[in-house]
């Protein structure tokens, strides 16, 4: 009965499915098939991984990877960095969105929107090269400015103490505009009558923001949280361009570590790492989504 209803529904929407079919096929071929192949390679011996008849080694690559202290350290570092980057990006983006949305900002709204969104459309490699130069301790303008103000030198990407902060700043510059745009779209759709009612009831600005505006931003928070979690778990380009995993492995995140193994033709272990990361991305994204969704349902 249910099957008949499903078939009936599909038949009634046949034109939609007809038009969607080519894109679904492309997604399967270019999206899902490479993922399946990558997972398949993770069960093969590296030496035969790319041959027509690879040798399957079961979970041996996963055992090797999970026994590798460098990988475990890399995974811990990746999770910590993701947590920091998600919080920093969303907090900054939300603050900027509130500022731009504020009625007190009478002029220049378009300028600030553009200024914050342009880095998103700037090629990431070019942006990170410029940041590397800005942080450079021999000719970078950041230390030149600090020096002229009589402030201590910033270690930038050359110091183990500051490298995480340095790439966090560069990534914030590149990504926060996107999250801000999502927040702005949500802010534009909110019910302003609720704020007027809160004002009549004598609510302070903080109380209005916390209990009236913020709950209405839940859809944007969910989208941004999930997207940012996925984005920062896979952090790669900024590392390749700015730090190459250093100094002293401090930015050797899982994506970059796996890439290094690819470079050494250790395909089985590299794809095992990529699969573990993929599982983490799926689990954390679903977890974040469920968490915020459950809060909304309360």
Partner 1 sequence: MRLAQFLGAAAVAAAAALAGPGAVKAQQLVIWHDLGDNGVAWFERAGAEFAKTKPGVSVRSISYPTDQWFGRVISAINTNTAPDLIFNNYERVIRIQTQTKKVMDLRATLNQVADKGFLSEDDLRVATFDNAMIILPVQRVQMAFGMRQSWLTKTGETFPQSWDDVKRIAAKFRDNDPDGNGRADTFGLALQAAKPRDLVHMLDLFTFGSGLRHTLIDPQGQITIDRPEHAQVLEEFLKTYSQYKFVAPDTINHSFNEMYQVILGGRGGMFRVGDWNVRGWDGANALNGDFVSGPWPAFGGRPNSVVIGGMRGVAVPDNSPNKALALEFAKFLLGKEAQQASLELVGAAVRKDLNVDALSPRQQFFARANHRLAAYDFPESVHTFYPELEAAFHRKLLAGIANPPADWKPFIAETAREMRELAAKLKN
Q: Using CB under 8 A, list all residues that contact partner 1.
A: 46-48, 50-52, 70, 132, 135-139, 156-160, 242-250, 260, 262-265
What DSSP character marks residue 158?
G
Minimum CB separation of residue 157 from partner 1 in Å reads: 5
Q: Name the residue nearer to partner 1 (CB basis): 175 or 266.
A: 266
Q: Name the residue nearer to partner 1 (CB basis): 59 or 70.
A: 70
Q: Name the residue nearer to partner 1 (CB basis): 159 or 285.
A: 159
d(CA 87, CA 107): 29
Cα 207 to chain center, whole Å? 30
Minimum CB separation of residue 84 from partner 1 in Å reads: 20
Minimum CB separation of residue 248 from partner 1 in Å reads: 4
Q: Name the residue nearer to partner 1 (CB basis): 91 or 151.
A: 151
Minimum CB separation of residue 265 from partner 1 in Å reads: 5
What's the N-to-C CA distance of the chain in angstroms?
35
**Which stretches within 2-137 are classed as H helix?**
2-12, 14-27, 33-41, 60-66, 69-101, 109-121, 124-135
**Which stretches within 189-242 are classed as H helix?**
192-200, 205-208, 214-216, 218-233, 237-238
What are the residues whose beta carbons fall under 8 Å from the beta carbon of 5, sequence distance 6 or more?
none
Minimum CB separation of residue 135 from partner 1 in Å reads: 8
285 and 242 Cβ atoms separated by less than 8 Å:
no
Minimum CB separation of residue 235 from partner 1 in Å reads: 16
User: 9, 61, 13: which is closest to 275 by C-alpha?
Assistant: 61
Minimum CB separation of residue 46 from partner 1 in Å reads: 7
Minimum CB separation of residue 72 from partner 1 in Å reads: 15
Q: Name the residue nearer to partner 1 (CB basis): 41 or 220.
A: 41
d(CA 166, CA 241): 13
d(CA 81, CA 256): 14
Q: Name the residue nearer to partner 1 (CB basis): 27 or 264.
A: 264
d(CA 253, CA 167): 12
Q: Name the residue nearer to partner 1 (CB basis): 126 or 189.
A: 126
How far is CA 64 from each of CA 139, 253, 256, rounded to the nearest angstrom?
43, 18, 18
Q: Name the residue nearer to partner 1 (CB basis): 135 or 183.
A: 135
């Amino acid at each position: 009965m249910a099957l008949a209803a499903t078939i009936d529904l599909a038949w009634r929407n046949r034109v939609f499915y007809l038009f969607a079919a080519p894109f679904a096929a492309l997604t399967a071929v270019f999206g899902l098939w490479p993922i399946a192949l990558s997972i398949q390679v993770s069960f093969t011996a590296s030496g035969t991984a790319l041959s027509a008849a690879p040798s399957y080694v079961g979970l041996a690559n996963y055992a090797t990877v999970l026994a590798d202290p460098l990988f475990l350290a890399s995974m811990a570092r990746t999770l910590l960095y993701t947590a920091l980057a998600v919080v920093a990006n969303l907090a900054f983006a939300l603050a900027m969105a509130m500022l731009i949305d504020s009625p007190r900002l009478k002029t220049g709204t378009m300028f600030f929107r553009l200024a914050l969104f342009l880095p998103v459309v700037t090629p990431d490699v070019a942006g990170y090269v410029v940041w590397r130069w800005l942080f450079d301790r021999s000719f970078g303008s950041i230390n030149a400015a600090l020096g002229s103000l009589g402030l201590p030198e910033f270690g930038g990407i050359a110091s183990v103490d500051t490298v995480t902060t340095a790439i966090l700043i560069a990534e914030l510059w590149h990504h926060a505009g996107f999250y801000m745009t999502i927040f702005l779209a949500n802010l534009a759709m909110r019910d302003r009558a609720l704020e007027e009612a809160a004002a009549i009831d004598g609510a302070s600005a903080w109380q209005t923001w916390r209990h009236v505006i913020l709950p209405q931003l839940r859809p944007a928070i969910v989208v941004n949280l999930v997207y940012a979690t996925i984005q920062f778990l896979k952090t790669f380009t900024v590392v390749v361009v700015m730090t190459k995993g250093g100094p002293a492995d401090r930015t050797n995140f899982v994506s970059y570590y796996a890439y290094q193994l690819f470079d050494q033709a250790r395909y089985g272990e590299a794809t095992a790492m990529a699969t573990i990361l993929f599982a983490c991305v799926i689990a954390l994204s679903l977890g974040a989504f469920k968490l915020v969704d459950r809060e909304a349902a309360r």
